[in-house]
Amino acid sequence: MTYAITQTCCSDATCVAVCPVNCIHPTPEERDFGSTEMLYVDPRTCIDCGACADACPVDAIFPVDSLFGAREEYAAINAAYYADREPEPASGPNFHAWGAPSFARSLPSDFAPIRVAVVGTGPAGMYAAEDLLLHTNAEVTLVDRLPVAGGLVRYGVAPDHPGTKGVGETFARFHSHPRVRMHLGVEVGKDITADELAAHHDAVIYAVGAGADRRLGIPGEDLPSSIAATSFVSWYNAHPEVAPEAVDLSGAERVVVAGNGNVALDVARLLVTDAASLAGTDIADHALAALRGSAVREVVLLGRRGPEDAACTSSELLALSHLPGVELVVDDHDPRVGLAIEGAAYGSAAAVLRGVRRECVDWSRPPADGRRIVLRFHSAPVEIAGRDAVEAVRVTAGEGEARLPAQLFLRAIGYRGMALPGLPFDEASGTVPHEGGRVTGLPGTYVVGWIKRGPSGGIGANRTCAAETVGTLLADAVAGALPAPAHPARAFGRLVRGRSRQVVDARGLAAIDRAERARGRDGGRPRVKFATVPELVAAARGRRRAAG
């Protein structure tokens, strides 16, 4: 029985590397890689060995005969990718021609160890660190402004996606690597300067992501109950920079979300999911309590364009259509909506909506009983109305406008990179100018991830992004283009400990992990996160008050 890749695929191609018959595509060498929503197993080629399932870092690959519920359709989805592709002639069970071998990390035999600092411990930074540690003799310094590692794996992935969070375990094995030094709780631009960091290392890779949110620029956007979806995501993931009281769900029956990308779908799903089903996840305690007492019955997702241009992946939309106890509805206010859905190509997000009920929603009436998510396309918010809080959202409707009564508004229209002191910055794109990852005008300085390419691509996209940046760095090292560090290796540790009182090393990070897992054990949860910086630092130092 063949295997199939499912919703949580991160596309980092770990499975491709272990497949003995080359049946998982697109591969990193193929033109389609990075442009498809996920990777796919060819059922004509798969020999049922299970190597891909064992290697998958996000638990996304299963035997076809074990798929049920929302996953059941992935057998057909995987097969459909190959429907128009003729098997290439080959002997044995392998229908796909192998590419030429690639030796991307070919270094001189006398290549001397280099010291590289990686700023940011999310997927982009850790893929870069992994590449350096596995393919070179480099010494790596991991730096993060928060006193805990993980980045968007810890604070961006929804708590009901534990498989996706599993990639964090893959990265964690490098935290205690003998050639790694970890300094968490150190902010570049505040505790130390970019010049000081560079003076202690041969090279510095910035993997600082895109920490800001995009704004709509419409009246009412700054009302108290109008917030960024990025803040909402951080809130339910116990990010220490978002207070527990930042979100109030007690009086909100209808929530309007601007955007229909995967983040918008995440927040919509969390708002209407039965809180009891989240009790076994690592969701923040304060968020779980708020969702238990929530009055939310309806979430409206606004799409500026039609369903054929929906920003979400078809797999996330498919999962939304199978959400227990929640009805998915398409607002049929515009004739273009139905035409686009009926004419959508198989496998597209719009095609997923063919079996979803369509109705012309009467917005003058309060939300119906039960819980539902409404997809409203061809609608852009033009004003958020209300005196002291959100009361309604005025949106475009064909050539006119419609008024949607609501008590909470979330904007989920994307992330944006922020300028870092000491580095050039392109305000238009929200990225650091670079060439192949090399920062323009700063020898020995590099970028990777969203701060390099903009906020696009999932976890796996960072692997190929990191490979390019590390390749550029190593080429510079071989060419003798890296400036030599002005200080010995141990001097950096003394510098940061003198600047910040909350520095956490690998031993402290392990203590945080043990304490959070211990807190979750009694409730049958994977962990209960510490939600403030003082709690994290106290746990790192083994103080009893943090684990109580």
Quickly name the fold that domain 3-81 has: Alpha-Beta Plaits (3.30.70)
Tens-level pLDDT at each residue, the chain (548 residues): 799 999 889 898 999 989 999 999 999 888 888 888 899 999 999 999 999 999 998 899 999 999 988 889 999 999 999 988 766 555 455 567 777 777 677 889 889 999 999 999 999 999 999 999 999 999 999 999 999 999 999 999 999 998 888 889 999 999 999 999 999 999 999 999 999 999 999 999 999 999 899 999 999 999 999 999 999 999 999 999 999 999 999 889 999 999 999 999 999 999 999 999 999 999 999 999 999 999 999 999 999 999 999 999 999 999 999 999 999 999 999 999 999 999 998 888 999 999 899 999 999 999 988 999 999 999 999 999 999 999 999 999 888 899 999 999 999 998 999 999 999 999 999 999 999 999 999 999 999 999 999 998 888 889 999 999 999 999 999 999 999 999 998 999 999 999 998 999 999 999 999 999 999 998 899 999 999 999 999 999 986 444 44
DSSP 3-state assignment of 407?
coil
∠ at Cα 170 (168, 171), nearest 5°?
65
What the block records as the tokens of 454 is 């903009």
Give me the CATH topology for the region 115-211+417-503: Rossmann fold (3.40.50)
214-402 topology per CATH? FAD/NAD(P)-binding domain (3.50.50)
405 upstream amide cis, omega within 30 of 0: no
Place of tokens 């920490």: 211
| Eight-state DSSP code of residue 340 | H
Sketch the domain layout of the chain as residue ranges: 3-81, 115-211+417-503, 214-402, 505-548
Distances in whole angstroms, Cα of residue 85 to Cα of each of 11, 44, 82, 242, 435: 20, 11, 5, 48, 35
CA distance 311 to 154: 23
Alpha carbon 113 to chain centroid, angstroms: 32
